[in-house]
Amino acid sequence: MHYSSEIPQRINLRLSEHLINAGIDFFWLLNRGYNRRSALDAVTARWGLSRVERLALYRTVFDLVTSFARRGKLRECREGMLAVDGFNVLSTIQSALLGDTLLLASDGFVRDLAATIRKVRVNPLLYTSLHILLMYVCRVVQPKELVIVFDSQVSRSGEFALLAEKLLKRLGLKGTALADARADSYLIQLRGEYVIATSDSVLIDRVDVVDDLGGRVASLIARERVIELGEAILSGVRKVAKDLAERV
């Protein structure tokens, strides 16, 4: 199989007071019931956020109800039935290999900043990410059964799924890998029976139990690149609330 030789662009973000203050404003607006997109537009304009800073807040900051609900679904799958949101999980691992900035969000999930910055491409680094993932799954998770679902809209995803299935067999893992045009729907149908490995917000909200598998593997690869932006913003919110209470 021939891979694209294009080297992905590295994504860097600095944790600044400017970004934290913008995140505090975004958090307050979300908790007051403002539309997520409109609130982010307002905060972006107010603080003059860059494209990457805006994406960081979108991927990291959620209202309290959403954050706590998602944290309640987080489980580390061990020796159970595991279904993996293929490109979502591999994107996070690939970002760690590239040395990208990774973000620990207010809902407890580690997310990359690749969305809208670069497209998912089947390349040697993605294959390396897959190999690392499956080695970790084989040695640590040891699932009873493993299903990896790739979005078939990504070019060469079918061939990539076949390679993933060969790796499964080589490592002695019971399961399958496939490409599907409605990958999210496929994974949602497995809820209840399987733990779903993803950091995708839509999937997290629609399934019962979630493993941040990509975040765990990425943190092992490049822990120093993980910024706890969600906690920094929540700490800022608590400080603001305390200051206001003292003034009353």
Whether the predicted pLDDT of 96 surpasses 60: yes
100 pLDDT band (50/70/90 cuts)?
Answer: very high
Please state, in angstroms and rounded to a whole number, the distance separating the CA atoms of residues 219 and 221.
5
What are the tens digits of pLDDT across the range 148-162? Answer: 999 999 999 999 999
What are the tens digits of pLDDT across the range 16-71? Answer: 999 999 999 999 999 999 999 999 999 999 999 999 999 999 999 999 999 999 99
Whether the predicted pLDDT of 1 surpasses 70: no
136 pLDDT band (50/70/90 cuts)?
Answer: very high
Contact 110, 212 (CB under 8 A): yes
The whole-number pLDDT of residue 115 equals 78
Average pLDDT of the residues of the chain: 93
Q: Please report, rounded to a whole number, the percentage of residues in the chain having pLDDT higher than 70.
A: 95
The whole-number pLDDT of residue 126 equals 94
The whole-number pLDDT of residue 6 equals 60
Residue 139, judged by CB atoms within 10 A of its CB (0-12, 13-18, 19+), counts as exposed
The residue count of the chain comes to: 248
Please state, in angstroms and rounded to a whole number, the distance separating the CA atoms of residues 248 and 238.
16
Q: In terms of pTM, does the model score above 0.85?
A: yes
Contact 159, 179 (CB under 8 A): no
Residue 75's contacts (CB-CB under 8 Å, 6 or more residues apart) are 195, 209, 210, 211
**Spatial CA neighbour of 198 closest among 91, 54, 68, 44:** 91
CA atoms within 13 A of residue 114's CA, in its CB half-sphere? 26
